[in-house]
Amino acid sequence: MTSSIERALADMVAQQAVEQSAADPAVRRGDWRQATVASVDAGTVTTVDGAIARCLEAYSNPAVGDLIRLDTNGTGDSTTPGRLSVAGDPEWVAFTSAWTAATTNPVLGNGLRSGRRVLHGKTCHLSVRIVPGSTTTFGSGNYSFSLPFPSANETVEYTGTARLTAGSTYIGQTYAAANATTFTVTFPTAATPANATNMSPSTPATLASGHILRMSLTYQIA
């Protein structure tokens, strides 16, 4: 007859086997769980508990702190389709847009430049404000401004709004092409007809200290 000690030992061995199987992906064959991103590399993320997962195409712009779904197969390899739904909207964050020109780049000097952007999946909203100062130089040629993310390589382009306060107020348009890393600004060349041309140091007005350029744009990222 089996003694109580033998039965207890058999129960303990069986329990250990169950626990080891649960911890071994080769036995359990695969599962998914929630995890928090600790660091981001090219095409992969590392979670707080040390798992390394390859990002699927749908997981655009991974960031530290993302709560993700982590899928692990029977051999221990992990992938992630992306973020889990969270309450609330993504936060607007600071963004510095590079201000360049076709011939000679402007130099901001003691001017002010600020920007904000927010990302909802593949949709980016941005807003930029530039106020030249007394030591700002304006360069030469048509202006361009950098995007926080490249635009999608699709068969559409993206337009937004611009406003220049320079003695008078000028209302214009921002424009980003497909597969672009920068956007441009156009303003009317005269009150009538309402033709427009790219912004430059002298168009739509000769820029000077204290003028204010405000720009906004919404576009699909790559």
pLDDT of residue 5: 74
* Backbone conformation region of residue 98, classed left if phi is above 0, alpha if psi is from -120 to 50, else beta: beta
- Say how far apart CA 131 and CA 111 lie, in whole Å: 6
Domain 93-220 matching CATH 2.60.90: the answer reads: yes
Mean pLDDT of the chain: 87
* CA-to-CA dists, residue 35 to 28, 80, 81, 160, angstroms: 19, 10, 12, 37
Q: Model confidence over 8-29: pLDDT tens digits?
A: 777 777 677 666 655 555 555 5
Q: Model confidence over 144-177: pLDDT tens digits?
A: 999 999 999 998 999 999 999 998 899 999 999 9
Instruction: Please list, residue by residue across 175-214, b when 16 or more beta carbons sit within 10 angstroms of its beta carbon and e when fewer do.
Output: bbebebebbbbbbbeeeeeeebebbbbebbbebeeebebe
Contact between 119 and 221 (Cβ < 8 Å): yes
pLDDT of residue 113: 97
Domain with CATH 2.60.90 in the chain: 93-220
pLDDT at 190 over 90: no
- Annotate 3-21 with three-state secondary structure: CHHHHHHHHHHHHHHHHHH
Q: Model confidence over 88-127: pLDDT tens digits?
A: 667 899 999 999 999 999 999 999 999 999 988 789 999 9
What would the CATH number be for the domain defined by 24-83? 2.40.50.140
* CA-to-CA dists, residue 122 to 33, 76, 208, angstroms: 25, 30, 37
